[in-house]
Structure 1
Amino acid sequence: MSFRGRAVTQASATRGRSAKSREIDLLAGLGSEVPGENESVVRSQIVPKRARAEHVRIGMLSGIAGYVDAVGFATLLGLFPAHLTGELVEAVVAVAHGEASSKAVRIAMIPIFVAAVVVAALVSRVFRRRGQAPLAPLLALMTAALTLFTVTGAAFPMLVGTSPSIALFLAGGSAVAAMGFQNAFMRQAAVGSCPTTMMTGNLTQLVIELVELGLGKPREQAAFADAFERRDPRRLRMVATALVGFLSGAMLGAVLTAKIGLFSIAVPAACAGLLTVLAYRDAQRVASR
């Protein structure tokens, strides 16, 4: 091979390593991971400070979801914006009983949630094509929706006086959209993390981890013993953080909403805004390397 050919090959390899290094740095900074064979590489790059930052983010996002769920349940006729399992069941029951028209606003929460996920998926796709992580843009969408929820919440008493259906649609719709963005964020930008809106799986995982931890390493079957050795203690801390964050957020949301009403939505909106700023800062820092 000629000298020029070797130089081109080495330059290409260097660019490839540089791009991969930036990707690993960014994913480590965001607490994500590359699936497959790159997972161990990313994990080895996450320093303790980044791991702590990831747990803080999980705790904050879970707290936001718990807070919004508590506010929705207390003020929006029992609506749980963070997860729409109940809304799906209610919609099916309403249709089956011929009551769909009377439940139109509640049923409308489902397409709003779907639309938010679609928007988040498209935004994520655009930024990934540019070689950028979608974490900060998705958090920005979530912040915008929570800000809208704050505004509609402040106007909620006045809106209820004129049209209760419109009031519920605007306030509930913005809350559901925010949680749709957060659910999509966990799928699109925080791969390998744990859910921050639905706690059933986290509670199940926590109990399993505690049972395994309490019983200790199996002795009788080597296959199970090997599986025990491969257990990741980080997973236990992660799901515990999510559960504590969710319950703490729900408690705070219930207390503040009882005192100041829907003005309390400013708290999770501010938290989401802080996460957005930190994510943009991390992205800029990694991009400048």
Structure 2
Amino acid sequence: MKSEDTILAAVAGFVDTLSFVALFGLFTAHVTGNFVLIGAGVAGFGRGVLLKLIVFPAFVGGVVVSSLLVRSLSERYERQGARLLHAVQAVFMFGYCLAGVWATPITQPESLAVTVAGIVGAFAMGVQNAHPKLIKRPGVPNTVMTGNVTQAILDMVDMLSADTAESVREAAHARFATMMPAIVAFAIGAIAGALGYRYTGFWALLAPACALAVLALTTGEHERAALPGRT
């Protein structure tokens, strides 16, 4: 599915921003951001240092479980890996939604309900971070946009420079066209996540959860249809 990375980028932007707003600056998909905030918290700036430390193993768990699930598939079913990971992430995203609703109203980062919500959310996004490493296919990173934005800027420079070779310009244009939908989708998802939480609280997570469920049902359909014996 050509739009898979675009949808996943929107999911990442949505969930990461909602988590940041709702859970005392917690990034569920952006581990580097949590390291920065942990450092700031240790120095006395901000809240929720313990929460950020606790959810890191959950993120690791999401990556590990994803790897084990994909490795467990027989050669006959290896094409189902992407659908399996989308399904697992969808289940945990629904769980994150319910855990967040249970934790509401959120007042203390050290409370059990808030910790559970953070753990489930981080696990879900650990699955998404592991996905492109485990399922080899053409695509772009869809959870963190720093590398995509950097490459897009470099490609723009190549496209706009008069002395750029035509082959380099064409390659830059192709990369730029591939990356921009994910970058834009992440930005839109981030805005939607913040607005969704403002108006509906953690129920807003039903949107990315449903999007992941749709991906679990539809990813790879065109590939299976093209297999010998399919009509």
* Interval containing the TM-score (normalised by the shorter chain): 0.7 to 0.9
TM-score between both structures, scaled by the size of structure 2: 0.86
Distance 1:229 1:280, change over 3 A: closer
Q: In the TM superposition, what are the counterparts of 1:158-237 in structure 2 within 5 Å?
A: 160=106, 164-218=110-164, 225=165, 228=168, 231=171, 233-237=173-177
Query: 1:59: which partner in 2?
Result: 6
By how many angstroms is 1:103 displaced? Answer: 3.2
CA distance in 2, matches of 1:116, 1:276: 17
CA distance in 1, matches of 2:4, 2:156: 23
CA distance in 2, matches of 1:273, 1:244: 22
- 1:136 alignment partner AA: R
Q: Once the two structures are superposed, what CA deviation does each residue of 1:19-74 show, in whole Å capped at 9, x if it has no partner? A: xxxxxxxxxxxxxxxxxxxxxxxxxxxxxxxxxx41x2111100000000110111
Q: Give structure 1 stretches of 5+ with no counterpart.
A: 1-52, 219-224
- 1:108 alignment partner AA: I
By how many angstroms is 1:93 displaced? Answer: 6.3
CA distance in 2, matches of 1:92, 1:259: 31
Does the 8 A contact of 2:86 with 2:212 survive in 1?
A: yes
User: Match of 1:231, SS?
Assistant: helix
Query: 1:266: which partner in 2?
Result: 206
Distance 1:200 1:136, change over 3 A: same
Distance 1:217 1:139, change over 3 A: farther
By how many angstroms is 1:153 displaced? Answer: 1.8
Distance 1:226 1:172, change over 3 A: same
Indicate which of 23, 31, 43 corresponds to 1:76.
Answer: 23
Query: 2:219: which partner in 1?
Result: 279
By how many angstroms is 1:165 displaced? Answer: 2.1
Aligned-pair identity in percent equals: 28
User: Match of 1:139, SS?
Assistant: helix
Q: Once the two structures are superposed, what CA deviation does each residue of 1:118-152 show, in whole Å capped at 9, x if it has no partner? A: 11111111226445221111111111110101111
Distance 1:156 1:244, change over 3 A: same
Query: 2:185: which partner in 1?
Result: 245
Distance 1:211 1:104, change over 3 A: same
User: Match of 1:179, SS?
Assistant: helix
Q: In the TM superposition, what are the counterparts of 1:34-53 in structure 2 within 5 Å?
A: 53=1
Query: 1:20: which partner in 2?
Result: none
Indicate which of 85, 88, 105 corresponds to 1:138.
Answer: 85
CA distance in 2, matches of 1:265, 1:259: 12
Does the 8 A contact of 1:183 with 1:197 survive in 2?
A: yes
By how many angstroms is 1:255 displaced? Answer: 1.2
Q: Once the two structures are superposed, what CA deviation does each residue of 1:65-91 show, in whole Å capped at 9, x if it has no partner? A: 000011011111011111111222444
Indicate the structure (1 or 2) with the bigger Cα radius of gyration: 1
CA distance in 1, matches of 2:41, 2:107: 26
Does the 8 A contact of 1:112 with 1:173 survive in 2?
A: yes
By how many angstroms is 1:279 displaced? Answer: 1.7
- 2:29 alignment partner AA: A
By how many angstroms is 1:117 displaced? Answer: 0.3
Query: Pairwise CA RMSD of aligned residues?
Result: 2.7
By how many angstroms is 1:280 displaced? Answer: 6.2
CA distance in 2, matches of 1:114, 1:167: 20
Number of positions where the alignment pairs a residue of Structure 1 with one of Structure 2: 226
Indicate which of 77, 101, 111 corresponds to 2:57.
Answer: 111
CA distance in 1, matches of 2:226, 2:115: 40
Which one has a larger percent helix, Structure 1 or Structure 2? 1
User: Match of 2:78, SS?
Assistant: coil
